[in-house]
Structure 1
Amino acid sequence: MRKQFLFIFLALTVVNTVHAQTRGTKVGYIDMEYILQNVPDYTEATIQLEQKAQKWKQEIEVKKNEIDKLKNALRAEQALLTKELINERETEIKFLENENLDYQQKRFGANGDLIQQKSVLAKPIQDQVFTAVQDIAEAKKYDFIFDKSSDLTMLFAAKRFDISDQVVRVLNRTEKREQLSKKQLKEEEAKENKEDALDENPVLADRQKALDEKKAARDKIIADRKLLQEEKKKEFEERRQQLLSEREAKKSGIVTDSKKTTTTDKAQEIEAAKTAVIEAKQKQAELRAKTLDDRKKLIEDRKKVAEEKRKQILEEREAKKNGTISASAKTEDLKTKTTVNDSTGVPPTTVEDAKLKQEELKTKVLEERKKVLEDRKKALEEKRKKTLEEREAIKKAAAEKLKENTNKN
């Protein structure tokens, strides 16, 4: 039993050794400065520290200006002062200068407040970074992880070995999880798994990066379109407001000279457009009238032909009644009496009478239509004349009002 256990242990040891040798050494590195810049807490604290440093610089500058004033005053009054007073003032100025230098060294020196507060500020973030690096190294089996921003000299480092973004994500995840609900935690875990998969597969990560870039470009195009639409809408709104204000000013009669010219120009343009529309309508009416005349002529021709045909038939009937018909006509008459229409079974004379009645009915209908169209044409012409007269009156009134306003001004 012991021999079997020893054999299994040795076999596992050999397998692990071979696997480690065949796998090779896995190396990664981080950029501590980059990580600290992408941690929100550190960024906010750095901004506050910068504000504090600016305040210290202002205090140093104020003290320096006060010392310069004392020096200038001493130079101006030096001829009037005794040697003892001059020495006393120079001692005072020297003391203030030394005090200002000590204050500057205290705040911005090698061991000053700024350096100490920066180290205090970075210490907890650095601890979190070290913890995150250890977790990543254990999870993804890294053999070595270096810090690019440390004293270690790295002559070259390929980007694929940089795990700084992974560390930033781990730190941000820890902060987010404290503020999320259970449902949001599940969604966040799914997102984290996707990000980890991208980190482990460089090809997939490059593909995802390309997709993100395309999406960003598409979003930018959509945003530019929306901005252009907003600008057009704003321009249209300004133009509408300008037109409304000009109308209001025109109603109240308090129009400036520049606006008068623009309003008169616009009125002339509107009037020209309206005149063009009226002329187009007039041409259209003339074309319709010409078409009606052609139709009328055609109807007259048909009516004339039908009338001649009807007279001929009546004359033939009268001749039949009087018996003054030739032999050939008699034979024709006999044929017409004996033959009937194959399709309807009605004698030809009856068909001809029906056709004549139909022609007369069509002629009557066409005459009524012609009358209606002439009435419409007449009404349209009267309406057009009335519109032109009203516009002329409005134009004349506007010109008189403009003249009165000009005289008043």
Structure 2
Amino acid sequence: MKGIGLSALAAVLLAAFATTAAAEVKVGFVNSDRVMKEATPAKKAQQKLEKEFEKRDQDLQRMAKQLQGMQEGLEKNGVTMGEGDRRNKEREFNELNRDFQRKQREFREDLNQRRNEELAGVLDRANKTIKQIAEAEKYDIIFQEAVYASPRIDITDKVIKALSEAK
């Protein structure tokens, strides 16, 4: 009988302690996707990338139009062209198409690499800002990934504002 009484008392004390401890824990949540889209450093990084890759993108668009024009010309005039001319035009089209595909692939790879570099810097700044807010406002834990987070613990706007104001 004594064993049952002590374990019941231990369970009640444990439950009381857990309730008290949970009430004292300050939890926050940050939506990282929003931070990476809305914070000024993230917007500046995106603008920097657009400017950096603008010329190559325009070159690719010109090549695509040239390819389209060549294809339309082959379709329109292919039947009336001589066999040699048609073969030369098809060969020219295929060479340009291969070059276009290669340049397009290189463009995507370079853009993705630079985007990852730029966003890594923004993410590092965001994490430092989150840590500063957590320390200043005495948060015990701040989550960045969650299936659900109540709006009352969401500090995303605060992080975006702090990041946007930081120099």
Q: TM-score by structure 1 length? A: 0.32
What is the identity, as a one-letter code, of the residue corresponding to 1:138?
A: E
* Residue 74 to residue 167, structure 1, CA distance change in 2 (3 Å): closer
Partner of 2:160: 168
Partner of 1:136: 133
* Residue 47 to residue 107, structure 1, CA distance change in 2 (3 Å): same
* Structure of greater relative contact order (alpha carbons < 8 Å, 6+ residues apart): 2
Partner of 1:118: 115
The answer to whether residue 40 in structure 2 is matched with residue 40 in structure 1 is yes
The 8 Å contact of residues 41 and 164 in structure 2, kept in 1 or not, is answered as no
Paired-residue identity, %: 23
Determine helix, strand or coil for the equivalent of 1:79: coil
Gaps of 5+ in 2: 1-15
CA displacement at 1:63 relative to structure 2: 1.0
Post-superposition Cα deviations, 1:99-147, rounded to whole Å, max 9, x if no partner, equal 1122222223xxx222222222121221111122223333434333221
For 1:32 and 1:89, locate their aligned partners in 2 and report how far apart those are by CA, in whole Å: 51
What is the identity, as a one-letter code, of the residue corresponding to 2:21?
A: R
The 8 Å contact of residues 45 and 119 in structure 2, kept in 1 or not, is answered as no
Determine helix, strand or coil for the equivalent of 2:82: coil
The 8 Å contact of residues 28 and 139 in structure 2, kept in 1 or not, is answered as yes
For 2:119 and 2:81, locate their aligned partners in 1 and report how far apart those are by CA, in whole Å: 57
* Residue 48 to residue 136, structure 1, CA distance change in 2 (3 Å): closer
Partner of 1:99: 99
* Residue 36 to residue 103, structure 1, CA distance change in 2 (3 Å): same
1:166-205 pair list within 5 angstroms: 166-172=158-164, 174-175=166-167
For 1:172 and 1:19, locate their aligned partners in 2 and report how far apart those are by CA, in whole Å: 41
Q: Report the count of equivalent residues.
A: 149
Q: Which has the larger radius of gyration?
A: 1
* Residue 153 to residue 91, structure 1, CA distance change in 2 (3 Å): farther
What is the identity, as a one-letter code, of the residue corresponding to 1:167?
A: V
| Counterpart pick for 2:149 among 148, 157, 160 | 157
Partner of 2:88: 88
Partner of 1:186: none
* Residue 70 to residue 171, structure 1, CA distance change in 2 (3 Å): closer
CA displacement at 1:44 relative to structure 2: 2.6
Post-superposition Cα deviations, 1:146-205, rounded to whole Å, max 9, x if no partner, equal 21xxxx451x32111011233234434542xxxxxxxxxxxxxxxxxxxxxxxxxxxxxx
CA displacement at 1:30 relative to structure 2: 0.5
The answer to whether residue 143 in structure 2 is matched with residue 146 in structure 1 is yes
Partner of 2:65: 65
* Residue 66 to residue 47, structure 1, CA distance change in 2 (3 Å): same
For 1:127 and 1:51, locate their aligned partners in 2 and report how far apart those are by CA, in whole Å: 23
CA RMSD of aligned residues (A): 3.0
Q: TM-score by structure 2 length? A: 0.69
